[in-house]
Structure 1
């Protein structure tokens, strides 16, 4: 399946929400938009008055059928782009964006998938979940996510409503005690023919990949997307 790709364009900020601390959800009306596949991302580029530019990539949280593109941005204290997006941007502002981008980490909406995320690594999986819901194929997805606390987990309510396994390292969640995600917790989520998708910091991605392999997932069917420097639970 060939993934769509878009060039540089502009987007009007239609909505700004700050559902959890140190983050922002942006709803963008992308001009001349090309519909994305779940798992793709956009680049946002900022240009200063002196011509200096900085750009960062952000996964898309919205489903392909959503008329707007939703990006989730985690605010990093030393982030040239994230601090501006989180602290300054308001509805009506114009942003320079490029996307959709990426073809390796996409989900086709037709095959079973096991999604394992740490922290804000859940964002591309929210796009997959929303797409699955739109086409009536939520049965194809199994989801496991990890975070320090529930308050720090993006889209926590939406993930919980979808039946995601939520592992918190700093607090109990339901009857599950605080602790890291374990291989035995992934085994009930496995089924033949799945592709496993892992998204999170480099350290989480490595640990989650090892968990999947321990649980019996073939290495050839694991797709990994890493981000940094922020990440999931310590």
Structure 2
């Protein structure tokens, strides 16, 4: 049995806003470890009285980046997300453990299709960034479903022929696709028999996206699913 990865100190070197409610935290690790695209880290907070809270966050940065980037959505009453958003500043230190996870990790060689809902794009962004950094952007096709243009994480990078954005509530001016839920018509043109499919998002989104893929004839063994629940 593999031993759990130890806790270590990470220094916050950059904080940037992705949306009105999401921030990306860049962390320099005291003991850098190469992660696989799709893995996550646990962030642990300890109060002066010894009380501890911890949450898991997917890594958004590519594996060859010596630092890690975690994108955190601020949740109402969020215990950990609130502290990260409202208290943590550049130069602060956090306690982290990772990288963790194997089922949703990508081997960086097989062609894949990523299907993300909202914040579910975070681990898939690591895959897209890695494929681009390796000079093989065609390995990763990415479909991201968001409510409005303002809700899209990494908006400056989710561009180009390997990416598709589906707006469910409000589409940008001039969009060829009207606002509406992810449909079979969004997925069918980019389905490829050689690609494994990584689906990530809320439980409802994952169930809906998986049902669409199965209706399109995708074998269940080609689909990997990671459901995001509220992590306050």
Same fold (TM over 0.5): yes
1:100 is aligned to 2:99: yes
> Residues 188-209 of structure 1: CA distance to partner in whole angstroms, max 9, x if unpaired?
1111121100000111111111
State whether residues 75 and 81 of structure 2, in contact with CA within 8 Å, keep that contact through their aligned partners in structure 1. Answer: yes
Q: Kindly state the Cα deviation for residue 210 of structure 1 after the two structures are TM-superposed.
A: 0.5
- 4 and 133 in structure 1: CA distance in 2 versus 1, 3 angstrom threshold: farther
1:123 is aligned to 2:122: yes
Which residue does the alignment assign to 1:177? 178
- SS of aligned partner of 1:217: coil
Residues 57-136 of structure 1 mapped to structure 2, 5 A cutoff: 57-136=56-135
- 5 and 15 in structure 1: CA distance in 2 versus 1, 3 angstrom threshold: farther
Counterpart Cα distance in 2 of 1:172 and 1:152: 11
Counterpart Cα distance in 1 of 2:162 and 2:154: 13
State whether residues 169 and 180 of structure 2, in contact with CA within 8 Å, keep that contact through their aligned partners in structure 1. Answer: yes
> Can you give the 5+ residue segments of structure 1 that lack an aligned partner in the other structure?
none
Counterpart Cα distance in 2 of 1:166 and 1:19: 16
Q: Kindly state the Cα deviation for residue 5 of structure 1 after the two structures are TM-superposed.
A: 7.0
Which residue does the alignment assign to 1:218? 219
Counterpart Cα distance in 2 of 1:106 and 1:62: 13
State whether residues 5 and 102 of structure 1, in contact with CA within 8 Å, keep that contact through their aligned partners in structure 2. Answer: no
> Can you give the 5+ residue segments of structure 2 that lack an aligned partner in the other structure?
none
1:14 is aligned to 2:4: no
Number of aligned residue pairs: give it. Answer: 228
> What RMSD in Å do the two structures reach over aligned CA positions?
1.6
- SS of aligned partner of 1:161: coil
| Deviation >4 Å, runs of 4+ | none
- 10 and 56 in structure 1: CA distance in 2 versus 1, 3 angstrom threshold: same
Residues 29-68 of structure 1 mapped to structure 2, 5 A cutoff: 29-68=28-67
Counterpart Cα distance in 2 of 1:200 and 1:135: 26
State whether residues 6 and 34 of structure 1, in contact with CA within 8 Å, keep that contact through their aligned partners in structure 2. Answer: no
State whether residues 149 and 171 of structure 2, in contact with CA within 8 Å, keep that contact through their aligned partners in structure 1. Answer: no
- SS of aligned partner of 2:38: coil
